[in-house]
Each structure stands twice: as C-alpha cells, then as structure tokens.
Structure 1
Amino acid sequence: MGQTITKLTLGLLVVLLTACAWFLWKGQSQPAASQVSERYRVTDSAGRQVEIPRRPERVIVLNASSLELFYAVGGTVVGRPSTEALPQAVKEAVAAVPAVGSTPNPNLEQIVTLKPDLILGVNMPFHHNLIPVLDQAGIPILLQSLENYQHVIDTLQFYGDLAGKPEQAAAVIGKIQSRYQSIIDKNKNRPAPKVVVIWGSPESFHMATSRSFTGDLVKRLGAVNLGDQGDDGQSHMGYVPLSMEYIAKQNPDKILLITHSPDDKVSDKFSNELAGHPAWRGLKAVATNQVHRLPYKLFAVNPGTQVDEAMSILAGHLYPEVAE
C-alpha cells in the first residue's frame, strides 16, 4: 500500500513538473514571437496610414540618409541603395548587402525577391510608383521626408524603436543635441548676415528656402535667408527659381553654393552663367570673398547623424569670427 501511494505521488510529481516545464517554455517563447510579429499603424510623410511590424526583421532601405540613420541606432538591412553618399563606416558595414538599384530607380523585382517585411523609402514620385506592386505583394513601404534638423532627431528615435535599441538611439540623439546646442549658444545674439543658398544642377539654379534642409539650419543659426523673401508666395517649397536681378537688389553678405552632383558639370555652369553675369561681380559677398561651396556629402544629401558637422561648417561661414 505504501509503495502504491509512493508510486502515485511520484507519478503526479512527474506530471506536474512536465506541465510546469511546458508552461514555462510557452511563457518564455510566445511573448518574443508575438512581439516580433506584432503590427501597428504609423503615418508616413505622405500622410499614408501604413501597417508595419513592430520589430521588422528584413528591412530594405532605398536612400542613403535613412540607411545611415538606421545603422546608427543598431539596425541592419537585407537590401540597400546603390550610392556612394555614405560615411565610410556605413559603406563597410553594408558592403556585403545586396544593392537594389539607385534611389530614383530601384529594382522592384529584386526588392520583392528579397522578401522584406518593411521598406524605408522617400516621399518622392519614384517611390510612390512602387506602392501598387508592393501592396499586392503584402510588403509595407514608408515614404519619409528628412527636411530639417528635427526630422533627423525624430527619425533616429523611430528607427531605434524599430531596431529594438531605443537606448542606443537616445545616446546618438544626445550627442547630436549637445553639439547642436553648443553651436547655437556660441553664435546667438550676433548680427544676422543676409544669406542666399544656391542649389545648382546641370539644368538650373535655385534658391533654398527654410523648408529645405540647409535653409532650416541657416535659419536655426539666426541668419536671414534671402530665399524666403524671394519666393513669390512659394514659401511651402524647399527651393525656388534663382533670380539674378533679385540677388543683385538684395546684395547678400554670404553666398553658399550646393552642387547637385560631385562632378564638374555644375561648376562649369556656375562659372559660365553666374560668375560671368555682370551683376555678380558687384555683389558684396563676391567682393569680400564670401562665396562658399558647401561639401557635397553633407549638403547635397541629408547629412543624417553628421548634421552637427554640417551646422558647424555653416556657422564657420556665417560667423567666422567665432567659428570653432
């Protein structure tokens, strides 16, 4: 009788231990799986409500700025854009990742083949055109705009959440904001120079308004952006057509030149069309040698986490007497 009770007790104990082990295993494995598969809705820069994974595992990024920001907070990708506009560290990190075409011309067939669970694109027509096919394939794409300093900060925080590394994102943001505040404090309450930011491409020249990335930084540094005053009611635009007559009338203290490409085509156009214009030679900025060409990798594209470096360069041109 005693042996029978002992056997029953042992049998019940084994069953209980087995059940406990099963529940413990289930309790440990299920939340991780459900967290990865959990989806939620976000609004992108195009105003679209998009359902995305909370922790995407196969991300494709279609532009250099977003790729640099995503890697800065510890994210990884399965597809990337064909571009040279990346910091060296990011170039090396993504060297083995398949390229899916240039930002304006992504390879849709290759993108679908990589089976992404999230695509990070830009709010431009060439990425809007991808939506119908991607919707049919069940692949979400976020169309984003990085138009100013605050967008960079907000995007870093968002990417940190996507990558599951909010602490790393907070550290990156803290470093940028500390440097930003130092530059602002050093240059505040100074006489505001009149500035024109010229965006040059092989086809045309435009003035950057405060709705552009560089224009936003110029405004934050306290300068007067002549592009905002010469936009003829187009203040919602990032760039407006350049008028040499308007520039001559306003007579800027500083001229900042951004070229659309790193080659010499824009430089030749600048020399022939702007520098050769009769009104150009009479400008105060020209006479005082205050025409500055801004670095391509920091200003032709969004500088991402290097935004503090871009601000430092701008501050040096706007306020050389207090530049670091």
Structure 2
Amino acid sequence: MSFKLSRITGVILVLLLGASGLFLLKDQSQPAARQSDRYLVTDSAGRQVEIPRRPQRVVVLNASNLELFYAAGGTAVGRPSTEALPAEVKAAVQSVPAVGVAPNPNIEQIIALNPDLILGVNMPFHHQLLPLLDKAGIPVLLQSVDNYQNILDTLRFYGDLSGQPDKAAKRIAAIESRYEQLISAGKNRPAPKVVMVWGSPESFHMATDSSFNGDLVKRLGAVNVAGQYNLSNAQLGYVPLNMEFIAKENPDMIFLIALSPDPKVSAKLKQDLTGHPAWSGLKAVQDNQVHMLPQHLFVVNPGTQVGEAMSILAGFLYPEVAEK
C-alpha cells in the first residue's frame, strides 16, 4: 500500500513540477513579448533608435513627414505650424495641437504631449533637440525624403508603423503608375539642358542632382547643368548660384522656385535673374523658357503629390507630350 502511495505521490510531484515548469516558461516569455513591441531602426542621420512597433502618440515636426504619415494611415498628437499641406491632410490635422514651425519647434509643448515617438528631419535644427528629448526618454527619428525613391520607402515604413501596410501599398502603387506614364512619355526625346534656381531675391542657389527637384528632372530625362558644377561634393542638394557658369552652359530652360508664397517675391525673383546682364543673352531667356514652379510642390518635397510635381515639369520639358 505504501508503495502504491509513493508511486502516486511521485506522479503528482512530476505533474506539479511540469505545471510549475509551464508557469515558468510562460513568465519567461512575457519579457520577450514586451521586447517585440519595440525594435531598432536606423534613421536618415545614421542613428540607431529603439522605437515602438505601433506608436500611439506620434508628434511630427515637419510638413513632408506629416503628409506621408497620414497617407500611410497614421495619426499624430502634435504637428508643425504650417500651411504647406494637401487639403485632405490639412482638414485631418485641424484639431491636432501645433508645436511650432519646423525649424524652431517648442520643446516644452512637445514633451507635454507625452509622445512615444517623434518624427523630425535630418537637419541641424532638429539635431539640437536630441539631448533634451533623449533625457526625457522620447525616441526621435530624423527622417529625410531627398528623392523620389525615398517617398516610396518612407510610405512603406510609415504603413508598418501605423499597422496599415495595405493603405501605404495602395498609395505607392498609384504614385508608381503615374511615374511610369510620365517616364515612358519622355523616352527617346531630345534631353533639354535645364537649371533650377531656388531661393529669394537676397539669396540664390542651384539645385544639384542630389536635391529632390534635381532628382525629378534627371528622372524625366533632362540634363541638369548644375549637376556638373559641384562634383567635388556631390552630397550637397543646393549650391550657390554662379551666374557666369550658367551663362557658359547656356541652358534651354530655367526653372525658378521662390521660397516665399508672395507673388510679388516670385515676380521680383524672375525679373532680377532674367534682367541680369550675364543672362540677357541666354537661350532660355531669349526663347521665353523661364518658368516659375509652384511653391507648395517644389520648396519642400511634395510627398504623395510627386506625380503632380512631375507632371508640371514634364509639361514644360515636353510640351507636345503634355498636349496629348
């Protein structure tokens, strides 16, 4: 009898130990589950940042990232003070608290919103915020959208963050469809020589191939003469305007992008450049091929409106295609 009891006792002990082992495994699995809710990503500044896999309280500090984040299904609890947004995004963020303009956001307001992720841009003014935000334990991604491919990659990433990859994929497909139409329309056509001048009456810069606008021109098959000007530092998106260099290159077309939305500023920009003695004899000036580009599409990258921006450029570069 005692032998039977001891056997039964032994079985019970084994079952209890097995059960306790299951509880132990369950307890050990919890930290792993919590760790999977966060992961490491590398931002445009080359920083490795641990962020929530599905952030719930996102503050976005610049217009481009805000527009792309909403296009991919995201929502924000804080946004930049800006009017440079598509109508649908402007309406969607109307009640979202503004935290200041992109170059100078209010860090106290940002922290008060208790964000679990901040999306900024890879520029010095957002790098300066990092020490205080790191101290507050708030992860910051410095994202830059410097070319067409960056738009698609950023949309895909934001779709993952928002948990809506299908919505992001749909926007990507629409952009790529329009892109292919425009690229194919310009194939086998003479490549016009162009220069893109960006700035205000006080300060002029040329867009290189490393800039967003220069990248679009290159993709459309045109030759950006400023792409040959600064080969020693190909990473710079904009370089100071050199009037003599442009006069020597004699482009077929000149695109002007005014920093200010004021039409008077745009008119003065065009007048100052086309009236300059070094440019009065340029082919583009003589042929009336100096064109102002819409500020909302070309001062900053146009995000999901990149198809519209490319259509405008293609209409100038290949007017016979645009007419069709």
Question: How far 1:268 moved relative to its partner?
Answer: 5.6
Identity of aligned residues (%): 71
User: 1:66-93: per-residue Cα shift (whole Å, max 9, x none)?
Assistant: 1111111111000000000001111110
Determine if the alignment matches structure 1 residue 236 to structure 2 residue 232.
no
State how far apart, in whole Å, the 1-side matches of 2:74 and 2:201 are: 36
Q: Distance in 2 between matches of 1:224 and 1:163?
A: 39
Gaps of 5+ in 2: 1-25
Partner residue, 1:79: 78
Question: What pairs up with 1:259-298 in 2 under 5 angstroms?
Answer: 259-264=258-263, 266-267=265-266, 269-271=268-270, 273-298=272-297
The alpha-carbon deviation at position 231 of structure 1 amounts to 2.0
Amino acid across the alignment from 1:108: I
**Amino acid in structure 2 at the alignment position of 1:257:** L
1:309 aligns to 2:308 (yes or no): yes
Matched, 1:89 2:100: no
Counterpart residue number, 1:134: 133
Taking structure 2 as the reference length, what is the TM-score of the superposition? 0.87
Structure 1 unaligned residues grouped into runs of 5+: 1-25
**AA aligned opposite 1:256:** F
- Give the Cα–Cα distance (whole angstroms) in 1 for the partners of residues 135 and 277 of structure 2: 57
Partner of 1:14: none
- When residues 265 and 50 of structure 1 are mapped into structure 2, their CA distance, relative to the original with a 3 A threshold, is farther
8 Å CA contact 2:104–2:125 kept in 1: the answer is: yes
Letter in 2 for 1:88: A
The match for 1:253 is 252
Q: In the alignment, is residue 105 of structure 1 matched against residue 125 of structure 2?
A: no
Displacement, 1:301? 1.2
CA drift of 1:320 comes to: 0.8
Deviations 1:18-59 (A, max 9, x none): xxxxxxxx9xxx99x959x71000000100000000000000
1:261–1:300 contact (8 Å) kept in structure 2: no
Deviation at 1:266? 3.8
CA contact (8 A) 2:200 2:269 kept: no
Q: Secondary structure of 2:59's partner?
A: strand
Structure 2 partner of 1:48: 47
Q: 1:271 to 1:309 in 2, by over 3 A?
A: closer
Structure 1 partner of 2:163: 164
The residue type paired with residue 54 of structure 2 is R
Structure-1 separation of matches of 2:260 and 2:317: 24
Q: 1:60·1:120 contact (CA, 8 Å) conserved in 2?
A: yes
State the one-letter code of the partner of 1:126: F
CA distance in 1, matches of 2:66, 2:180: 25
Kindly tell me: are residues 265 and 47 of structure 1, through their superposed partners in 2, closer, same or farther at Cα, counting changes over 3 Å? Answer: farther
Find the aligned partners of 1:203 and 1:104 in 2 and give their Cα distance. 20
Alpha-carbon offset, residue 221 of structure 1 = 0.6
Report the residue type matching 1:310 in the other structure.
A
Letter in 2 for 1:136: K
Structure 1 runs (4+) greater than 6 angstroms displaced: none
Sort the Cα spacing of 1:212 and 1:161 in 2 relative to 1 into closer, same or farther, 3 A. Answer: same
Q: Which residue of 1 aligns with 2:191?
A: 192
Other structure's SS at 2:233 match: coil
Distance in 2 between residues matched to 1:220 and 1:232, nearest whole Å: 19
Q: Could you tell me how far 1:275 is from its partner in structure 2? A: 2.4
Alpha-carbon spacing, 1:180–1:272, altered in 2? closer, same or farther (3 Å): closer
Structure 1 residue 265: Cα displacement: 6.2
Name the structure 2 match of 1:15: none
Corresponding letter in the other structure for 1:219:
K
Amino acid paired to 1:226? V
Are positions 1:204 and 2:232 aligned together? no
| Letter of the structure 2 residue corresponding to residue 133 of structure 1 | L
User: Residues 163-218 of structure 1: CA distance to partner in whole angstroms, max 9, x if unpaired?
Assistant: 00001100010010011001101111111000001112243111100100010000
Shift, 1:267, TM fit: 2.9
Question: Hey, what's the Cα distance between the residues in 2 that align with 1:79 and 1:109?
Answer: 12
Alpha-carbon offset, residue 319 of structure 1 = 0.9
1:129–1:207 Cα change, 3 Å: same
CA distance in 2, matches of 1:234, 1:223: 21
Q: Aligned residue for 1:70?
A: 69
Q: Distance in 2 between matches of 1:272 and 1:210?
A: 26
Normalization by structure 1: what TM-score? 0.87
Q: What SS does the corresponding residue of 1:168 show, helix, strand or coil?
A: helix
Q: Which 10-residue stretch deviates more, 209-218 or 229-238?
A: 229-238
Which residue type is aligned with residue 220 of structure 1? R
The answer as to 2:220 corresponding to 1:227 is no
- 2:5 matched to which residue of 1? none
SS where residue 280 of structure 2 aligns?
helix
Q: Name the CA shift for 1:185/1:268 in 2 (closer, same or farther; >3 Å).
A: closer
